[in-house]
DNA sequence: CATTTTAAATTGGTTAACCAGATTGGTTTG
DNA sequence: CAAACCAATCTGGTTAACCAATTTAAAATG
């Protein structure tokens, strides 16, 4: 129950094997993009794996926009050119699980942007939602309770207000990794949490009065302290 | 074959219904994070859907780090707090498909960062890979062929050199959307493509001599022109 | 011979039965 | 009474059969 990786690992190896096989198929049997892949049954037979495994691999490539299964018709290769598909699949196969540092680095990058965009684009309802998240955070802190989740929701509310659905999606994707790592590293101490209340307030006010530069700077300050706390190093943006 | 959304739409509705059901389950039956979800069989019966649908929904929530299926044991709720889970699931349910503008905006944000980081962290093999991608692009352009894919691979090579696996993953995720939209909008004309050769070269040189600020500026220039071309508006970074 | 019809084969999706490992609760054993 | 054991049960994963829509090519029709 603690080892969360092992059971999925062989599965991932099988998946990567299938994905590599599909890549070879596209290269070797020169299946043109836009064409159909062999049926799931044939692939499962060809690669010596279950059809479920083939479907999972296809789903993964569908997530990256490379394949598109069409019911009762076939699975089509995205029409984005054989070179791009090759490069992307290679990258996907080599992708390593993100480390904590790259997660934090990316989060800061995204959040500085969402702060700026939120200040520019926030609607009244956005503002209301951010305020609610902020109040919830303060309430927990003042009660002496752990407020990691509320902190997170405050930041997600800002991401939503940024009006950029792509960034919002990306924030959601990296969020769980952030949380689990934060809890693992015991990042937030008492002082941090209290201080963050004030910082959050300032970020909120900057977004409220639509001062994008100020919002970015306040967010940067917020993370600057966090970053130093994590790494004993100054944040470079 | 052209309508790529319809067949998947009902599926998405079913999935969201299941995800919402799981959310209610966590809230209403107050399943604590860290605990087990009801079995897939029970969920499929409870929601009146197929077990496959339940599995797909679980996979989606697994992708966002909310659930963790353990073989022969059960599907566990991530130990990140009920509030965070609620907020995240709500966001996931409301997520809309990213629009072109948010894709471009996000891509520029990420690429400015990768350029800077690549300049700082690039290894010799990174450099070699970027050079190869650059040459491949130039070759295609000089032959008068379409080089959208090669352009993409050049940028992905830089992302890889950034040494930030999270950003690299995010780049991969947004890439297919970028490509298809670019081809749909016929963004790149002859002049752009020729000009980009020079811009790429300058980006490469900046990364080579590890001048991070220069790399960022050159990348910014590269996108600045592209952005104006797309929107007849000046890029704000 | 071209066009339409139609029926057989193929497709991704769904369902149900099955598997091996994990869990659980009662029973045995020291 | 506590610890060890064991079998019944439950789990996610896998397999195979099935479904309805689609594609195909052969057959019927003008």
Q: Is the pLDDT of residue A8 over 80?
A: no
How far is B46 from chain A, CA to nearest CA, in Å?
24
How big, in percent rounded to 5, are the helix, strand and coil portions of chain B?
A: 75, 5, 25
Quick: pLDDT tens for A41-70: 999 999 989 899 999 999 889 888 899 999
C19 C1' to A52 CA distance, Å? 15
Q: Is the pLDDT of residue B235 over 60?
A: no
Say if A175 is an interface residue toward chain B (CB within 8 Å): yes
Check if CATH label 1.20.1250.20 holds for domain B6-94. Answer: no
Quick: pLDDT tens for B185-219: 666 566 778 888 999 999 999 999 999 999 999 99
Q: What band does B233 get if pLDDT is binned at 50, 70 and 90? A: low
Asked, colleague to colleague, whether A6-94 and A100-231 share their fold, the answer is no
CB A234 within 8 A of CB A220: no
- A201-215, B40-54, B85-99: segment of lowest average pLDDT: B85-99
Q: Where are the domains of chain B?
A: 6-94, 100-231
* Partners of A69 in beta bridges: A75
Q: Is the pLDDT of residue A106 over 80?
A: yes
Q: Residue B5 has what pLDDT? A: 29
Q: Residue A125 has what pLDDT? A: 96
Say if A100 is an interface residue toward chain B (CB within 8 Å): no
Nearest to A172 by CA among B233, B43, B51, B60: B60
Quick: pLDDT tens for A18-44: 999 999 988 887 777 777 899 999 999
Nearest to B164 by CA among A100, A94, A91: A100
Q: Residue A224 has what pLDDT? A: 84
Q: Residue A65 has what pLDDT? A: 86
Task: Match 């090759």 to its residue by tokens.
Answer: A86
- Please tell me the distance from the alpha carbon of residue B83 to that of residue A149, in angstroms, as a whole number: 6
Q: Residue B4 has what pLDDT? A: 32
CB A193 within 8 A of CB A222: no
- B34-38, B133-137, B210-214: segment of lowest average pLDDT: B34-38
Task: Please name the helix (run of DSSP H) or strand (run of DSSP E) that holds residue B69, with its range, or none.
Answer: strand B67-70
- Please tell me the distance from the alpha carbon of residue A129 to that of residue A143, in angstroms, as a whole number: 21
Topology classification of domain A100-231? 1.20.120
Number of residues that make up chain B:
237
Q: Which residue among B80, B106, B165 sits closest to A149, beta carbon to beta carbon? A: B80
Provide, as residue numbers in chain B, all residues whose Cβ is less than 8 Å from the Cβ of A156: 87-88, 91
Q: What is the DSSP string of chain A?
A: ----SHHHHHHHHHHHHHHHHHHHHHHHS-PPTTSBPPPHHHHHHHHTS-HHHHHHHHHHHHHTTSEEEETTTEEEEPSS-HHHHHHHHHHHHHPPPPPHHHHHHHHHHHHHHHHHHHHHH--HHHHHHHHHHHHHHHHHHHTT---HHHHHHHHHHHHHHTT-HHHHHHHHHHHHHHHHHHHHHT---HHHHHHHHHHHHHHHHHHHTT-HHHHHHHHHHHHHHHHHHHHSS----
Q: Residue A75 has what pLDDT? A: 93
Neighbours of A90 (CB within 10 A): 15
- A7-11, A196-200, A220-224, B90-94: segment of lowest average pLDDT: A7-11
CB A40 within 8 A of CB A75: yes
Q: Which residue has the higher pLDDT, A85 or B30?
A: A85
Nearest to A38 by CA among A50, A25, A49: A25
Answer yes or no: is B50 CB < 7 A from strand C.
Answer: yes
If you average pLDDT over residues B84-90, what whole number do you get?
Answer: 88
Say if B151 is an interface residue toward chain A (CB within 8 Å): no
Q: In this predicted complex, what is the ipTM?
A: 0.79
């Amino acid at each position: 129950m603690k080892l969360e990786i092992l059971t999925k690992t062989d599965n991932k190896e099988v998946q990567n094997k299938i994905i590599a096989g599909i890549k070879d198929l596209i290269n070797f049997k020169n299946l043109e993009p836009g064409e159909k892949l062999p049926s799931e049954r044939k692939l499962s037979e060809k690669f010596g794996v279950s059809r479920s495994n083939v479907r999972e691999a296809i789903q993964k490539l569908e997530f990256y926009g490379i394949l598109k299964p069409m019911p009762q018709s076939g699975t089509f290769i995205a029409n984005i050119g054989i070179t791009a598909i090759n490069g992307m699949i290679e990258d996907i196969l080599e992708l390593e699980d993100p480390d904590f540092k790259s997660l934090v680095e990316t989060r800061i990058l995204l959040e500085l942007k969402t702060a700026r965009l939120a200040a520019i684009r926030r609607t009244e309802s956005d503002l209301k939602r951010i305020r609610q998240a902020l109040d919830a955070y303060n309430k927990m802190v003042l009660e002496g309770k752990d407020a990691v989740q509320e902190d997170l929701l405050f930041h997600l509310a800002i991401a939503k207000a940024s009006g950029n659905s792509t960034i919002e999606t990306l924030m959601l994707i990296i969020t769980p990794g952030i949380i689990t790592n934060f809890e693992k590293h015991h990042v937030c101490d008492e002082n941090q949490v209290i201080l963050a209340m004030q910082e959050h307030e300032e970020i909120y006010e900057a977004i409220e009065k639509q001062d994008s530069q100020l919002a970015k700077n306040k967010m940067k300050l917020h993370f600057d302290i966090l970053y130093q706390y994590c790494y004993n190093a100054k944040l470079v943006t």
